[in-house]
């Protein structure tokens, strides 16, 4: 199927991060950390499903997924450390060439950065104030401040909504007034990391 092996992924990362060949120490630790990270994400999805905030009805299944991935992480953390050896680059089958992004990607990224600067960062303090008040009133931290709904509406009108959806998905669920952004998975991953704020 052309899917790289775990060895090939490790070698490609080692090579592209300009590390020398040889044993990759603490590999089990990094693998366990990755599992725990995925488990925490799955648990978050499950928690949102319990609160009625999940966008997908299948989100309730993520509770079991979190358990399975966390158990795997625990097993990896307890096993004897076996260093993974990265051999010479000449034996590597997978090549990670520099990524060429489209003009659409850079246009959307600039738009996202402007939106963060103009609407998100200036409202962080208000978001936290409204969240704390609502949390105290409702007796739970799983609340949605009014400013969040206002910002969501602005994001929708700016065309910065559901950017992860593929053209096929948009057609299948028949989302009105939604334009497919034309991003690749990698482009979406990078776009999702623009900025840093609690909102």
d(CA 65, CA 53): 18
What pLDDT, on a 0 to 100 scale, did the predictor assign at position 43?
A: 92
What is the helix (H) or strand (E) element at residue 23, kind and residue range? strand 22-24
**Kind of pairing, strands 22-24 and 84-86?**
antiparallel
Q: How far apart (Å, rounded) are the C-alpha atoms in residues 131 and 125? A: 10
Give the CB-side neighbour count of residue 111, counting CA atoms within 13 A: 16
H/E segment holding residue 126: helix 124-138
Q: Give the distance, in angstroms, between the CA of residue 8 and the centroid of all CA atoms in the same chain.
A: 23
pLDDT one digit per residue (tens) for the chain, 199 residues: 677 777 777 777 777 766 665 666 777 888 888 899 999 999 988 988 888 877 777 888 888 999 999 999 999 888 876 555 544 433 434 444 556 778 888 888 889 989 999 999 999 999 999 999 999 999 988 899 999 999 999 998 898 887 877 666 666 655 555 566 767 777 777 777 776 666 6
Beta-carbon contacts of 108 under 8 Å, excluding residues fewer than 6 positions away, are: 163, 181, 183, 191
Contact yes or no for 58/78 (Cβ under 8 A): no
Question: What is the pLDDT at residue 122?
Answer: 93
């Amino acid at each position: 199927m052309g899917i790289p092996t775990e060895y090939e992924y490790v070698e490609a990362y080692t090579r592209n991060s300009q590390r020398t060949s040889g044993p990759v120490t603490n590999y089990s630790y990094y693998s366990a950390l990755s599992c725990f990270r995925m488990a925490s994400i799955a648990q978050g999805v499950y928690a949102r499903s319990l609160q009625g905030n999940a966008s997908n009805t299948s989100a309730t299944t993520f509770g079991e997924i979190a358990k399975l991935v966390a158990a795997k992480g625990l097993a990896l953390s307890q096993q004897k450390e076996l260093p993974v050896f990265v051999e010479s680059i000449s034996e590597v089958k997978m090549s990670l060439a520099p990524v060429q992004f489209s003009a659409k990607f850079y246009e959307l990224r600039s738009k996202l950065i402007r939106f963060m600067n103009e609407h998100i960062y200036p409202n962080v303090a208000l978001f936290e104030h409204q969240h704390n008040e609502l949390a105290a009133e409702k007796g739970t931290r799983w609340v949605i401040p009014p400013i969040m709904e206002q910002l969501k509406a602005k994001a929708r009108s700016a065309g910065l909504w559901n950017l992860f959806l593929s053209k096929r998905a948009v057609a299948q669920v028949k989302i009105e007034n939604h334009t497919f952004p034309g991003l690749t998975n990698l482009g979406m991953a990078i776009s999702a990391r623009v900025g840093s704020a609690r909102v």
